[in-house]
Chain A
Amino acid sequence: MVRLLRPTVAVAVLAGLVAAPWVVDDYTSALLARTLALGLVAVGVALLTGVAGLPTLGQTAPYAAGAYAGALVGGHLCDVGAVQVLVAGAAGAALATATLPLVLPARGVVLLMITLAVGELAVVLAGRWTSVTGGTDGLAGIAPTRPLWGLPVLTTDRARYLYTLVVVAVLVGLVLLVLRTRVGLLLRAGRDDEARLRASGHRVAAHVAGVHVAAGAIAGAAGSLLATAQQYVSPADFGFDTSALLLLGVVVGGTASVGGALVGAVLVVAARDWLFGALPGQAPLVLGLAFVVVAHLLPTARRARPPARPRPASAPLGPRPADARRPTSATGVRA
């Protein structure tokens, strides 16, 4: 049953997404295009958080880098969407590579903290580096994109939405294909038992670096889609609340599922946009309470760690090794 259910749901979701711009008005199409770009960032978050076990709050940094790179390329060099997506992906990957020394040794809460600091610093930088990013006013009037050489430029909200949908579908398909290979197995193995994977001769640090850079490239490509869909980029698109919403979407969608993350993020962002329209004054309060409720509802279901393997009867019941206590070197107050 479940085997049949998943593809059915996937096909239904895809059909709904393709049909959407003919059902809703232009404004909603534009909102949906932006939401899909965020959903693509969420795929990167799920790749890091769920598949590789590296929780992150900082994917807005490569997302912002990609958005500005895409907007600048679109404005000055080339209006071909494929080029913009590639350049933006490279910008996101480059930013992720630059922050690798910070994130490589960190896991768990420490990683959340460092990635959050990196993401927030990137937003501050975007707001202050006025000569390139336009500061807090943002970059407006980005020239319309043409998807490929020889195709017409995208002038309507519906066309921009469909372009976003095609790019997102291609990239998500690529991620899903790669995860079906050995790479996916290695990433999951690193999440479940890093010490054992390392002991068996795998270079875990290289895997971790690779998944960080890949997630950065995905977020960068999503940034270019945002610039195309919205024709405007400003630091407000990459705030702290965006990272938290993405994380909420990924948790709601099931952390280890890439498709679930996409759907979860789209649902959460759509709910946010609807809430801000329906309850202009109280939206942040309701949204905040929703976060608290979700955190209380999900704990047992999302614990995700498989139960410990039963010990052989002869093994002494000493202190459990690896995961029994937090290493004091990672956290701890030293005066």
Chain B
Amino acid sequence: MSGVPVDPYVVPALDGVAYGLLVFVAAAGLVLCFGVAGILNLAHGTLFAIGGYTAAALLDGGWGSLALALVVGVGAATAAGALVALLLTRVGAAGHLNQALLTFGVALAGGSLLVAAFGPDDPPVRVPAALDGSVVVAGHRYAAYRLVFIVLAAVLAGLLHLAVRRTRAGMLVRAAVDDAEMVATLGVSPAVVRVGVLAAAGALAGAAGVLGAPIIGPGPDTADAVLLLSLVVVVLGGLGSMTGTLLAALAVGQIQTLGVALAPSAAPFLLFAAMAVVLAVRARGLATARRAT
């Protein structure tokens, strides 16, 4: 990189980190659903949109409204996640086709309800007044909210890692992945674990939606866009590995911002190219990913 001036790419690179962390928090919920319950939750993007619309409706420029939006948005998305889980318990054993149909139906109906409630336009989102300005980073002006978001999302990712590795709930979740029947004999109903996981995934999507609303704003297309990004990230990350998902999310963030800045004409192909590169590196294919890291 010696001949290329690094300077103009600082801002896209930082944007890429913010974008990547946002996608990670959203995709983490999908990894949980998928890893534990084996459910492909097509309504995941809609849960994110619930958080985004809540932020747009409640944020008025003060800190109190941010806290309120966070509580309401996470609560609503958690409830929606639990609702999906309850609907799924009746269909649960009947195969992935029915799961896909059901979660897609929830996404379609939920998206329609959101548009009916908040209108068909993309509502503006107001960040807290104290963060509305810009700060100087390495000689460049950069939106203060995005810097704070990077810190917040990193903290959230750290907490998630601790929760999965260290808490009893996290251990139960990992145990349910390894051997659901054994967990059941220990007196914990796998169905309860599953509802809990889907609700937790909803909470993650809701938190990402509220905090990320100034970055990926709410609108009728948000749900599809977030679902696609999360899917690509989960596939790139090795289908179930949290660390892999984080790395993939950061890479996708850079592709979507720095990649577009560096090679605008190639931008449409970059995500495809990333999937091809990952495949070349792991020639055996992703679905046969190794048992343990």
9 CB < 8 A contacts A-B: A49-B97, A105-B286, A105-B287, A105-B288, A116-B231, A285-B109, A292-B87, A329-B291, A331-B38
State whether A288 touches B105 (Cβ < 8 A).
yes
A112-B40, A325-B181 in contact; A296/B91 too (CB < 8 A)? yes
Q: Please, which residues of chain A bring their CB within 8 A of the CB of B112?
A: 282, 284-285, 288
In the assembled complex, B101 has its CB within 8 A of some CB on chain A: yes
User: What residues of chain B lie closer than 8 Å to A298, measured between beta carbons?
Assistant: 94, 98
The residues in B between 254 and 293 inclusive whose CB is less than 8 angstroms from any CB of A are 267-269, 271-272, 275, 279, 284-293
Across chains A and B, the number of contacting residue pairs, with CB separation under 8 Å, is 205
- CB-nearest residue of chain A relative to B293? A334
A288–B108 CB distance below 8 A: yes
Q: Knowing A117-B231, A292-B102, A335-B165 are in contact, say whether A300-B94 is a contact too (CB < 8 A).
A: yes
**Beta-carbon contact of B36 and A333 below 8 Å:** yes
What is the bound-complex CA distance between A129 and B265, given in angstroms? 9
Within 8 A of A (CB), among B91-133: 91, 93-102, 104-113, 116
Report if B135 contacts A (CB, 8 A). no
Residues of A within 8 A of B287 (CB): 105-107, 110-111, 114, 330
Stretch in A73-81, A209-217, A241-249 with 4+ CB within 8 Å of B: A241-249
Q: Does B143 contact A (CB under 8 A)?
A: no
CB interface residues, B 38-85, toward A, < 8 Å: 38-40, 42
- Which listed residue (A113, A128, A255) contacts B268, Cβ 8 A? A128
Tell me whether B211 is interfacial, beta carbon within 8 Å: no
Q: At the interface, yes or no: B234 with Cβ under 8 Å from chain A? A: yes
In contact, A288 and B32 (Cβ under 8 angstroms) = no
- B239: which of A110, A284, A291, A292 is its contact (CB, 8 Å)? A110
> In the complex, are the beta carbons of A291 and B39 less than 8 A apart?
no
* Residues of B in contact with A (beta carbons under 8 Å apart): 31-32, 34-36, 38-40, 42, 87, 90-91, 93-102, 104-113, 116, 161, 164-165, 173-174, 177-181, 224, 227-228, 231-232, 234-235, 239-244, 267-269, 271-272, 275, 279, 284-293
Contact B97 A247 (CB under 8 A): yes
Query: Is A326 touching B105 in the complex (CB atoms < 8 A)?
Result: no
Q: Counting CB contacts under 8 A, is A302 at the interface?
A: yes
User: Which residues of the other chain, A, contact B32 by a CB distance below 8 angstroms?
Assistant: 333
Chain B residue at smallest Cβ distance from A334 = B241
A321 to B240, CA, bound (A): 23
Kindly state the separation between the CA atoms of A114 and B288 in the bound complex, as whole angstroms. 13
Nearest Cβ distance between residue B242 and chain A, in whole angstroms?
5
Q: How far is the CA of A136 from the CA of B247 in the complex (A)?
A: 31
A295 within 8 A of B: yes
Residues of B within 8 A of A117 (CB): 228, 231-232, 235, 275
CA distance A114 to B231 in the complex (A): 8
Cα distance A296–B100 in the bound complex, in angstroms:
12
Q: Does A171 contact B (CB under 8 A)?
A: no
Contacts of B224 in A (CB 8 A): 120, 239-240
* Given A109-B38, A292-B87: 19 more A-B contacts, CB < 8 Å: A113-B34, A113-B235, A117-B232, A121-B228, A124-B228, A247-B100, A282-B112, A284-B111, A284-B112, A285-B108, A288-B112, A289-B105, A291-B104, A325-B179, A325-B181, A332-B177, A332-B240, A334-B244, A334-B293
